[in-house]
Amino acid sequence: MFSVLTASLVCPILLASLADRVPGIFFGLPLVALASLVFAATHHEDPAEIRFATVHWAVWLGGILGLVLAAVLLLGWFA
């Protein structure tokens, strides 16, 4: 769990160090991880359950946002 937390804090710093080479969309990934972690922690008390639910929420959030992104890219491609 703390690895998720650490990653969500370190990722933006690493990404920022690469500055303009990184597409802005990747800055959303730490936010997905963070939202998943907070969602999970507000639904559970046990650390193991929080860890499991974090992955669960991250998959769902990432999947839904990925689908939306794919739809937008496809629309942009065909437009």
Task: Mark 17-56 with x for binding to another protein (rule: CB under 8 A) and - for no binding.
Answer: -------x--x--xx--xx-xxx-xxxxxxx-xx-x----
Contact 33, 4 (CB under 8 A): yes
> Where are any strands of DSSP class E within 11-64?
none
CB nearer to another protein: give 13 or 79: 13
User: What is the signed CA dihedral for 2, 21, 77, 70, rounded to 10 degrees?
Assistant: 0
* Closest separation in Å from C-beta 30 to another protein: 8
Binding flag, residue 57, another protein (CB under 8 A): no
